[in-house]
Every structure is written in structure tokens, then in C-alpha cells.
């Protein structure tokens, strides 16, 4: 199955305006010029024919072909992935520009179904690869160095060997994938179609979430209560989607013999369960010195006895809420990237000038932000919902980091360029850190420095603490669903069980906040994705510490790490920097950076 991109930031953003300047829009013609483009028709015909030929040429024969023959087979499979990926990238990106458009939704669905039908005969490929004896495969790698380059791909495929089903069942599950996609589309279209009425204005979800960062507390409260009311009105749909998706996953996992609901995600992330558990344990243990301590500080700054949920992302009282134009946002990020290394600025520049970014907020556009790599012979596309908030500048820096990473990794080819989610956040979070440090260096007053530090701490808490709380919620959700159907109230209770623990004792929770799980796309699109954010933030904090200490040749080593794409394990990628994510103390190094920022904020109170 070819997965579509989806919003990847738990960011607050909302509806567009001319005040930001000339916001860029995507030019998708580098993929196809339209639904009726002759190149698209040609590629669909080629894909159908090549998938059939591939199956005819190789099914039942992989165990007997030599190293050169296996390389030819792999290269043909890679080209199939590239053409299918191009088609689905085009269909998916058009859909996310306007999810409420029936024609775009139909086109995407038709493309997905066609590609599923075409590629079902190829299910044998990974199954038969896993039946090749280890010694035979090792001999093939020794005999052909070009084939040996794909060893990381083979390793990831063979990691699934213990959980492989019969050929017939695997084909059945492949075909059934379009049904799961339909539930994801129901979620996307429901979210995009929601309207929220605040002070007589009708807003979409982005516009409403954006009000949670307003200086006026009454506006934040109004937005929170309206979010709760609309989520409650649609809670049965959201509960049905989550119940169905979690049950489908439980059934597939049970048939495969997966040891846990999380195991599949760990395998796809090429990360050991004990490493994830070490990360999770380190973050939970740090709640008191991170989120609890920071929010208690913020409570005092806001002059409150108790914090409410609508105060979590509030600006500081002394903060002059201003609109950042698109031109200023571009200049800020480009300056930070170029100052780190001119090569990074050169890689980022085309995103702004060639239609690789879609920045404006428009009715029906998907919420959030993402960078989609498309295919290695085209280029990535970045989606934003830009509203001129300082945090939107950080989101631009984040997604542009993804884009630069994807451009650099493209040299690995279609099968080796894609990084596991845990490493996919490296360049994005590093890009944010570069931008933040550049802005901090420019701070002219203690007050400006305090505002910037507080904003960065909040972003890091949202990326680390909040995402681990999300992960715990998902663990509880999937465990509970395995025991039976969950009512909306059941899911609400699971959500609330992680909120107080992660946010701290200074918070009260309004009636209705228990439904706020409903709009998080990761839970539906990619279960257990969320810990990758905490992984990436911790990794980058440790990495940035090495950079700040003046590690010789850091920039070159950093570029080599990004160029590696998915061709190396996290242990091998981090070794040149003297870092090891499997060491439990590694996570403390990253968390101590957040704690250090809070120390500085506390010192400012004296």
C-alpha cells in the first residue's frame, strides 16, 4: 500500500489573510499537469503492465536466481515503487489542498484502488525474499556490491519474517487496505468540514485552534468551549473511526503474532522496543522538572491561581502579539539555515521560489503541516497553514528541515531514501533549533529573551512531554479496545488519565476537554507515530550539544547523516558524533537542555 502524507505537527494555526504578503502555492506540474495528463495515463498503463510482467517473471523463482538476477529484480521493483509513488503523491497532494472537493476525493480514491489492484500480484516479492536462506543471501551480497547496497532494505523486510502470513492471506490484507484508507478519509473529511462559531464568525478547525494562542483570555476560553461543543456533536463518528481502526490493527497483529500493539511501529522505525521504553521512562520521570515546573512558572506570569486548558499555549502578558509577514518568515529561516552552512541555504531556496510550498489557509484545506518527499526523481512539497504567528515561523523552519533532508536523501534511490520516523524528525527539529538560536542571538532585551525562551520551552514540551502523553494514551486505547468496543466515554476517560499526569497539578480541566483526543490525526493515520517526535527532539538536543561544543567537522558529518536516508541504523548514524541512543543516559542529555532553559527562566524571576 502507498501511504499518503498527513499533517504531522500538533501546531496551532488557522485561516488565511492577505496581511501576510504573497503566500506561495504548490505547482504540482512537476508531478503531473492534471488528472487527464497524457503522462499520467501512460504511467498507469505502464504500471499495470509492469506489475503483471514482474509477477510472471519472478513469482516462485526468487530462491533460484543468482546475485545479478536478484539485483535486476530489485531495480525493477524500485521503479514500480517510484511510478506508483509519483501517482499517489499527485493525487494525495491535490486532495489535501481541498479535502472537501468530491472530485479530488474520488480521483485519489480511484488512483489508490487502481494501484492496489495493480500491485497485489507483487505481494509475493517480500514473502519469497524472506524464504531465501541467510547464507545464500550473504553470498549474493558478496558476489554483487550493487546488490549489497540494498542490504538495509533486505534487513528491514526480513525483520518481518516471524510475523509473515501465507501468500494468500498477505494478498487478501493488501487488497483490504483500501477499506482502512476509507476510514482515514472519513476522519480527514469530517475534521476539514467542521465549522466553529465564535463571536458570530464561522471558522474552520485551524482558525479555532489558532485562537488558543490569542492574548485575550476570553477568546481562548470561547475557542476551547466551542471546540469541545463541536467535538461532542461529532464524537460518535470519531469514536467509531478509532474503534474500527484499533480493532482492525488488533486483528492483523493477532494473526501475525505481534508481541504488542506497538511492535509493528518499532519494526518500521527500525528501533528496539527497549530504546523506546527508555525514552518514554526518561520523559515521564522528567515531567516534574519539565512541564510541571514550567507551567507553574507560567501560571505566575499570567497572574492566575489555577491554569485552564486554554492557558497552555497562551502568549506571555508582556508579549506583543504581532503578525510576521511571509517575507520576514522566509528571511528569518533562510538566514539561520545559511549561517549554519551555505549549502543548507542553497538546498532550501528552491522551496520558496519554485512552488514547493503551499502556505495559505483556505476553506477545505487539510489542517496542520507536513513535508511530503514524493519520489526521488522529483522533489518534496511542504504544506503549511501560515497565520503569521512566531510559532508559524518555527513550523516553517521545521517542515523546511524535512524538505532539505528529503532532498539530500534522494540520492539513495526510492528504496533507501526513506528514513524511519524516529530519524525523519532529525533535520526538522535541528532546523527549528537553528532558527530559534538565531532569533535568541538577536534578542535586544531581557524581556525579548524571556519571550523567546518561553516559546521554545513550550514547543519542546509539546514535542516531548505532550507526545509521550499521546503515546501513553494510544497504548491504553489499543489495550482497552482489545478487550471490547469502547464508548466515547471510555475513550474520554483514557485521554484524561494521561493529561493531569503530564501537565501538572496547577491545571484544571474544563468540562468537554475530555473529547480533545478526537482531532489528533496521528492516532488514525499512523498509530504510535507520536513517540518519534520525542525521539527526534531528544536526539537533536544531544546532537546540538555536540555542535555547540565545537565538534570539528560537524557540518560535514551532519550532511553525511542526512544523505544516508534510510540506509543506516540509528546507532551507525550517531556514532560519528559520539552519541548512542541505546544508552539510557542519552535521553537525559537531551532533556537536560529543556530543563536548562527553564532554569534560565526561573533565574530571570530573581
> What local confidence, expressed as pLDDT, does residue 505 receive?
93
pLDDT digits (tens, 9 = 90+) for 437-496: 998 988 888 888 999 999 999 999 999 999 999 999 999 999 999 999 999 999 999 999
Task: Kindly give the residue spans of alpha helices, DSSP state H, lying in 257-376.
Answer: 263-268, 273-286, 291-301, 326-340, 342-353
* pLDDT the model gives residue 389: 83
Q: What are the pLDDT digits (tens) for 122-150?
A: 989 998 999 999 999 999 999 999 999 99
Q: Which CATH class is domain 22-164?
A: mainly alpha
Q: Residue 12: pLDDT above 90?
A: no
Query: Which pLDDT score, from 0 to 100, does residue 368 have?
Result: 85
Please state the rounded mean pLDDT for residues 558-579.
94
- For residue 209, what is the enclosing H or E element? helix 205-210
Interhelix angle 390-409/426-441, rounded to 10 degrees, is 140
Q: Domain 276-603 is of which CATH architecture?
A: Orthogonal Bundle (1.10)
Given a cut of 50, whether residue 10 has pLDDT beyond it is: no
pTM of the predicted model, to two decimals?
Answer: 0.83
DSSP helix/strand/coil, 213: helix
The confidence score (pLDDT) of residue 354 equals 96
Given pLDDT bands bounded at 50, 70 and 90, which one contains residue 433? very high
276-603 has the same fold as 22-164: no
At residue 3, the pLDDT reads 41
Q: In the structure, what pLDDT confidence band is assigned to residue 11 with cuts at 50, 70 and 90?
A: very low
Q: Is the pLDDT assigned to residue 304 strictly greater than 80?
A: yes
pLDDT of residue 111 exceeding 80, the answer is: yes
Average pLDDT over residues 307-314: 95
Give the mean pLDDT of 530-541.
91
Residue 551: predicted pLDDT: 82
- Categorize the per-residue pLDDT at 606 as very low, low, confident or very high, splitting at 50, 70 and 90: low
Q: What percent of the chain has pLDDT over 90?
A: 77
pLDDT of residue 18: 53
> Which pLDDT belongs to residue 6?
40
Contact of 313 with 216, CB cutoff 8 Å: no
pLDDT value at 374 more than 80: yes
pLDDT of residue 458: 93
Is the pLDDT at 310 greater than 90, yes or no? yes
Extended strands (E) in 379-431 = 381-383
* CB atoms inside a 10 Å sphere around CB 109: 16
Average pLDDT over residues 240-263: 95
Is residue 8 predicted with pLDDT exceeding 80?
no
Retrieve residue 231's grid coordinates.
467535538
8 A C-beta contact, residue 386 and residue 394: no
Q: Residues 169-173: what's their mean pLDDT?
A: 87
Question: What's the pLDDT tens digit per position in 181-227?
Answer: 888 989 999 998 999 999 999 999 988 998 999 999 999 999 999 99
Sheet harboring 370-372: ordered strands across?
A: 357-358, 381-383, 370-372
Task: Give the residue extent of every domain in the chain.
Answer: 22-164, 276-603
Other C-beta atoms within 10 Å of 218: how many?
A: 10
Amino acid at each position: 500500500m502507498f501511504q499518503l502524507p498527513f499533517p504531522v505537527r500538533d501546531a496551532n494555526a488557522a485561516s488565511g489573510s492577505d496581511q501576510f504578503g504573497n503566500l506561495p502555492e504548490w505547482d504540482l506540474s512537476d508531478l503531473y499537469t492534471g488528472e487527464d495528463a497524457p503522462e499520467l495515463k501512460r504511467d498507469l498503463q505502464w504500471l499495470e503492465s509492469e506489475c503483471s510482467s514482474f509477477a510472471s517473471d519472478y513469482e516462485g523463482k526468487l530462491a533460484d536466481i543468482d546475485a545479478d538476477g536478484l539485483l535486476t529484480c530489485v531495480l525493477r521493483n524500485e521503479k514500480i515503487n517510484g511510478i506508483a509513488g509519483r501517482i499517489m503523491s499527485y493525487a494525495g497532494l491535490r486532495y489535501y489542498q481541498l479535502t472537501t472537493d468530491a472530485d479530488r476525493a474520488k480521483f485519489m480514491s480511484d488512483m489508490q484502488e487502481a494501484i492496489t489492484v495493480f500491485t497485489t500480484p507483487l505481494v509475493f516479492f517480500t514473502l519469497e525474499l524472506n524464504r531465501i536462506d541467510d547464507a545464500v543471501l550473504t553470498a549474493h551480497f558478496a558476489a554483487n556490491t550493487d546488490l549489497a547496497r540494498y542490504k538495509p532494505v533486505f534487513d528491514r523486510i526480513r525483520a518481518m519474517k516471524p510475523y509473515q502470513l501465507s501468500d494468500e492471506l498477505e494478498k487478501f490484507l493488501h487488497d483490504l487496505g483500501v477499506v482502512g484508507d476509507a476510514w482515514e478519509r472519513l476522519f480527514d473529511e469530517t475534521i476539514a468540514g467542521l465549522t466553529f462559531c465564535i463571536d458570530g464568525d464561522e471558522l474552520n478547525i485551524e482558525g479555532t485552534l489558532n485562537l488558543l494562542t490569542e492574548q485575550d483570555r476570553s477568546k481562548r476560553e470561547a475557542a476551547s468551549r466551542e471546540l469541545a461543543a463541536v467535538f461532542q456533536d461529532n464524537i460518535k463518528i470519531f469514536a467509531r473511526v478509532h474503534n474500527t481502526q484499533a480493532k482492525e490493527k488488533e486483528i492483523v497483529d493477532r494473526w501475525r503474532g505481534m508481541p504488542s500493539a506497538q511492535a509493528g511501529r518499532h519494526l518500521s522505525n527500525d528501533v528496539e522496543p527497549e530504546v523506546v521504553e527508555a525514552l518514554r521512562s526518561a520523559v515521564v520521570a522528567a515531567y516534574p522538572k519539565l512541564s510541571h515546573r514550567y507551567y507553574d512558572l507560567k501560571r505566575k506570569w499570567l497572574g492566575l491561581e489555577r491554569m485552564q486548558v486554554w492557558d497552555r499555549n497562551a502568549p506571555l502578558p508582556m508579549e506583543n502579539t504581532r503578525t510576521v509577514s511571509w517575507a520576514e518568515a522566509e528571511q528569518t529561516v533562510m538566514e539561520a539555515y545559511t549561517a549554519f552552512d551555505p549549502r543548507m541555504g542553497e538546498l532550501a531556496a528552491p522551496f520558496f521560489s519554485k512552488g514547493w510550498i503551499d502556505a495559505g489557509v483556505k476553506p477545505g484545506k487539510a489542517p496542520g503541516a507536513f513535508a511530503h518527499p514524493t519520489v526521488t526523481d522529483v522533489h518534496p512539497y511542504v504544506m503549511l497553514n501560515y497565520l503569521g504567528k512566531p510559532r508559524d515561523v518555527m513550523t516553517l523552519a521545521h517542515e523546511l528541515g524535512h524538505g532539505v533532508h528529503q532532498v539530500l536523501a534522494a540520492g539513495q534511490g526510492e528504496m533507501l531514501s526513506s528514513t524511519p520516523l524516529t530519524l525523519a524528525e532529525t533535520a526538522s527539529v535541528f532546523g527549528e533549533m537553528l532558527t530559534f538560536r538565531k532569533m535568541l542571538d538577536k534578542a535586544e532585551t531581557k524581556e525579548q529573551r524571556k519571550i523567546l525562551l518561553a516559546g521554545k520551552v513550550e514547543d519542546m514540551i509539546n514535542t516531548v512531554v505532550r507526545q509521550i502523553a499521546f503515546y501513553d494514551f494510544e497504548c491504553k486505547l489499543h489495550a482497552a479496545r482489545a478487550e471490547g468496543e469502547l464508548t466515547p466515554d471510555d475513550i474520554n476517560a483514557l485521554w484524561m488519565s494521561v493529561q493531569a499526569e503530564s501537565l501538572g497539578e496547577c491545571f484544571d480541566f474544563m468540562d468537554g476537554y475530555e473529547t480533545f483526543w478526537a482531532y489528533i490525526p496521528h492516532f488514525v493515520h499512523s498509530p504510535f507515530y507520536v513517540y518519534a517526535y520525542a525521539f527526534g527532539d531528544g536526539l537533536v538536543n544531544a546532537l546540538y550539544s555536540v555542535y555547540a561544543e565545537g565538534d570539528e567537522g560537524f557540518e560535514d558529518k551532519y550532511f553525511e547523516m542526512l544523505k544516508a536516508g534510510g540506509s543506516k541504523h540509528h546507532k551507525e548514524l550517531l556514532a560519528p558524533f559520539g552519541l548512542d541512543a541505546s544508552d539510557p543516559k542519552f535521553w537525559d542529555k537531551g532533556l537536560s537542555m529543556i530543563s536548562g532553559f527553564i532554569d534560565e527562566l526561573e533565574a530571570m524571576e530573581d
